Amino acid sequence: MAERAAEHSFASAFPIPAHLIGQVQSRLAYVDEAIQTAAISEDGGTVRLELAGGLDAAALAALEAKVLQVVEEMAKGALPPKVEVLEDHMARPVPYAEDPMPELLARGEVSREHTGIYSLGPLVTRLIEAFERYFVELAAEFGAAPQRFPTLISAEKLDRVNYFRAFPHSLTFATHLREDLHVINDFAEHTHYEEAGLNAPPESFSRIQALLSPAVCYHYYFALADKPLPGGQLIATAVGHCFRYESSNLNTLERLWDFTMREVIFVGPADFVLENREGGRQKVAAFLERIGLAYLVESANDPFFVGEFRKQAAFQNAFQLKYEIRARLPFKDGSLAVGSYNYHQDFFGRHLNISLPDGKPAHTGCVAFGLERLAYAFLCQFGLDPAAWPAEIREVLA
Ligand code: AMP
Ligand code: ZN
């Protein structure tokens, strides 16, 4: 019989500042396999964990030490960042205030295949198609070249752009059986799913050459690597599956292991990238106004893991590298990032040797939308009855 989960609360060595509570909390999911949920009190002073049962005192002390290490590395002495709000339409009145998830599940519009893995039915699919119709138009206004990128991504290339150092916790690896008759026969005969995983011995699997892709625009930069940038500037667009393992943070459509992202990608000199990122923001703002979405756009940082978090998040903030579109979720009085405006400076240009006509490394940036999240936030604000949806979306559905 499975052991019952046990609650365990303890004081943080110092209060976790309000602006970091959410980010520290989501990192705690990765601290120990025994942690089922992690919550930090509103005053930042107490960590509350739900743990798989059966930990002895020594294991509990070791776990607590790891939690405190994360809290200390991410939060001790951290200064609140200057949050820059570029647009604030959070107070826009919207017609719906329920949690749409129970009804979506009941109607079979959303089916949970596994933690963080969902199938979507016709209503949500059409809604996403309506958003996609707009994004394709948006990309066309930039003259963006359409691209198709693979679902797998090269481990070698991700290493070149330091991905393993920045986001190790959310990686999803692709592997295959080793080319060995005994290994393959043994696997075929004995493998079953048990105890939340396959029972195959880890030695059956090959070394990792590929992962499931965590983002769309990386593929474009990889395709442009090690040569002069054709024409000195490029704009492209693509939609693709992205994978981010979010551990126990995976719940509802808010946070998925497997989701889809639409991106418009800019590569060229710094001013070209920045002007287009800003142009993209203004065009998207006009669209969100037409559909009446309640949202804001504010400066943000990527979800770096503990070791890189402080330095990288501060860097992104100082140089205004990332802004997020956060849509209101009325039922929980919260918000959810449905898209982002990103500028990577010449990071990819340097690491991948993409050169401008003057010999300098190219700058890059992108406008990215999470399609499931956009649909989910829309349903949170407008409900499941298309008759109550904004004309802009209904017209596309018709
Ligand atoms: P990012 O590159 O992190 O700015 O991601 C771009 C967009 O992808 C975000 O604004 C979200 O809408 C979406 N996204 C990122 N992670 C997830 C996830 N785990 N589940 C669903 N959507 C996600
Ligand atoms: Zn991107």
- For atom 9 of ligand 1, the residue with the nearest CA is 339
29 C-beta closer than 6 A to ligand 1: no
Q: Which helix (H) or strand (E) holds 153?
A: strand 152-154
pLDDT number for residue 396: 84
362 C-beta closer than 6 A to ligand 1: no
Q: Are strands 46-51 and 210-212 parallel, antiparallel or unpaired?
A: unpaired
Task: Using the mean position of ligand 2's atoms as its centre, give its distance from the Cα of residue 368 in Å.
Answer: 6
- For atom 17 of ligand 1, the residue with the nearest CA is 255
Task: Using the mean position of ligand 2's atoms as its centre, give its distance from the Cα of residue 133 in Å.
Answer: 19
**Which atom of ligand 1 is least distant from the CA of 374?**
12
Task: Using the mean position of ligand 2's atoms as its centre, give its distance from the Cα of residue 181 in Å.
Answer: 41
Q: Are strands 354-355 and 227-228 parallel, antiparallel or unpaired?
A: parallel
Task: Using the mean position of ligand 2's atoms as its centre, give its distance from the Cα of residue 320 in Å.
Answer: 15
Distance CA 378, CA 126 (A): 13
256 C-beta closer than 6 A to ligand 1: yes
Q: Three-class SS of residue 18?
A: helix
Distance CA 129, CA 397 (A): 8
**Which atom of ligand 1 is least distant from the CA of 302?**
3
344 C-beta closer than 6 A to ligand 1: no
Q: Determine the number of helices (DSSP H) and then strands (DSSP E) in the chain.
A: 13, 20
Task: Using the mean position of ligand 1's atoms as its centre, give its distance from the Cα of residue 142 in Å.
Answer: 23
339 C-beta closer than 6 A to ligand 1: yes
Task: Using the mean position of ligand 1's atoms as its centre, give its distance from the Cα of residue 3 in Å.
Answer: 34
373 C-beta closer than 6 A to ligand 1: yes
Domain boundaries, the chain: 6-75, 85-150+217-397, 173-204
The CA-to-CA distance between both ends of the chain, in Å, stands at 53
Distance CA 184, CA 178 (A): 7
Distance CA 243, CA 172 (A): 7
**Which atom of ligand 1 is least distant from the CA of 303?**
3
For 66, the token pair is 């790891």
Distance CA 398, CA 396 (A): 5
Ramachandran assignment for 333, one of left (phi > 0), alpha (psi -120 to 50 degrees), beta (any other): left
210 C-beta closer than 6 A to ligand 1: no
The size of the chain, in residues, is 398
Contact call for residues 264 and 235 (beta carbons, < 8 A): yes
244 C-beta closer than 6 A to ligand 1: yes
Contact call for residues 380 and 233 (beta carbons, < 8 A): no
Ramachandran assignment for 320, one of left (phi > 0), alpha (psi -120 to 50 degrees), beta (any other): left
CATH topology (fold) of 6-75: Alpha-Beta Plaits (3.30.70)
372 C-beta closer than 6 A to ligand 1: yes
- For atom 3 of ligand 1, the residue with the nearest CA is 302
278-283's contacts with Cβ under 8 Å and 24+ in sequence apart are 279/142, 280/138, 280/142, 280/341, 280/367, 281/86, 281/323, 281/341, 281/367, 283/138, 283/141
365 C-beta closer than 6 A to ligand 1: no
Q: Are strands 145-146 and 234-243 parallel, antiparallel or unpaired?
A: parallel
pLDDT number for residue 77: 85
Q: For each of the chain's 398 residues, which pLDDT tens digit applies?
A: 345 678 999 999 888 999 999 999 999 999 999 999 999 999 999 999 999 988 899 999 999 999 999 999 999 888 888 999 999 999 999 999 999 999 999 999 999 999 899 999 999 999 999 999 999 999 999 999 999 999 999 999 999 999 999 999 999 999 999 999 999 999 999 999 998 899 999 999 999 999 999 999 999 999 999 999 999 999 999 999 999 998 877 778 999 999 999 999 999 999 999 999 999 999 999 999 999 999 999 999 999 999 999 999 999 999 999 999 999 999 999 999 999 999 999 999 999 999 999 999 999 999 999 999 999 999 999 999 999 999 999 988 87
Q: Residue 356, CB half-sphere, CA atoms under 13 Å: how many?
A: 18
Q: Which amino acid, one-letter code, is at 270? A: A
C-alpha dihedral (213, 147, 301, 214), degrees to nearest 10: 0
For 207, the token pair is 């070394």
- CATH homologous superfamily, domain 85-150+217-397: Bira Bifunctional Protein; Domain 2 (3.30.930.10)
Q: Are strands 363-370 and 197-198 parallel, antiparallel or unpaired?
A: unpaired
- For atom 15 of ligand 1, the residue with the nearest CA is 370
265 C-beta closer than 6 A to ligand 1: no
Distance CA 305, CA 162 (A): 12
pTM for this prediction: 0.95
Distance CA 137, CA 147 (A): 15
Q: In which residue are the tokens 């601290």 written? A: 31
366 C-beta closer than 6 A to ligand 1: no
Q: Which amino acid, one-letter code, is at 64? A: E
**Which atom of ligand 1 is least distant from the CA of 338?**
12
Ramachandran assignment for 383, one of left (phi > 0), alpha (psi -120 to 50 degrees), beta (any other): left
Could you say which ligand is closest to the alpha carbon of residue 277?
A: 2
For residue 121, the 8-state DSSP code is -
